[in-house]
Amino acid sequence: ADSHLYPLPELPYDYDALEPAIDKQTLTIHHDRHHQGYVNGLNSTLESIGKAQKAGDFGDMQKLSRKLAFHGSGHVLHTIYWASMTPKKTQPKGALLKAIEADFGSVDTLKGQIGAAAGSAAGSGWGLLAYEPVGDRLVVVQIEKHENQIFCGVVPLMVIDVWEHAYYLKYQNRRGDYVKAVMDILDWDSTAQRY
Ligand code: MN
């Protein structure tokens, strides 16, 4: 069972690589403590589910399902979030650019839409660019509580974390400034790979 535990993935760049958009202290705390917390929670939830399986007692399934969704979504979304940003300057191209133009009209429209979704997510949440395989199209999804609100079946391609821990040390309540800064460090190459 241990081989199925989730490890905390390393950042694909140094802790200070995204400055000034995202400062070193924020990135360090966000990755080493917040993301680690989701990984720990996910693994301990899986351990509890394993015990329930062995005991044949699924009386706690509602509680365990919520924990699995909360920590599992948190882990996956943070993993995509780190990969959604880069200190290199990248631009959408190829098949990803074609899909963006087909489903949004232009890259600027997509940026406006995902920026608005991230900027207006209530309290804590995410702006997400995702691939929806049933209709073979790209969609922007606003996530308010990642354990509750999800477009089932979508494949996350690029995500912006707008929980306060993602920006508060540097931006305080100016979430819009943080979202705007993130727009300039998006990693379109890794997004294209996932697409
Ligand atoms: Mn976060």
State pLDDT tens for residues 129-147: 989 888 889 998 888 877 6
Residues 6 or more apart in contact with residue 165 via CB below 8 angstroms: 26, 29, 30, 34
Please confirm whether the linkage preceding 20 is cis (ω < 30° from 0): yes
Beta-sheet pairing, 137-143 with 155-161: unpaired
Rounded mean pLDDT, 14-39: 97
* Tens-place pLDDT, residues 169-195: 999 989 999 999 999 999 999 999 999
For the chain, the residue count is: 195
Specify whether the CB–CB gap between 126 and 146 falls below 8 A: yes
Structure tokens at 61: 């399934």
| Ligand 1 midpoint to CA 33 (Å) | 10
Segment 9-29 shows an average pLDDT of: 97
pLDDT on residue 122: 77
Ligand 1 centroid to Cα of residue 56, in Å, is 35
77-111 pLDDT, tens per residue? 999 999 999 999 999 999 999 999 999 999 999 99
What's the gap in Å between 166 CA and the centre of ligand 1?
5
Determine the distance separating the centroid of ligand 1 and the alpha carbon of 69, expressed in angstroms. 15
Please give the distance, rounded to the nearest whole angstrom, from the Cα atom of residue 95 to the centre of ligand 1: 29
How many A from CA of 100 to the centre of ligand 1?
Answer: 26
Looking at this protein, which amino acid is placed at residue 85?
A: M
Q: What's the CA-to-centroid distance between 134 and ligand 1, angstroms?
A: 29
Distance from Cα 31 to the centre of ligand 1, integer Å: 8
Q: CA–CA separation, 159 vs 81, rounded Å? A: 5
Q: What is the whole-number distance in angstroms between the Cα of residue 59 and the centre of ligand 1? A: 31
pLDDT recorded at residue 185? 94
Distances (CA, A) of 176 to 30, 43, 49, 82, 153: 19, 34, 40, 19, 29
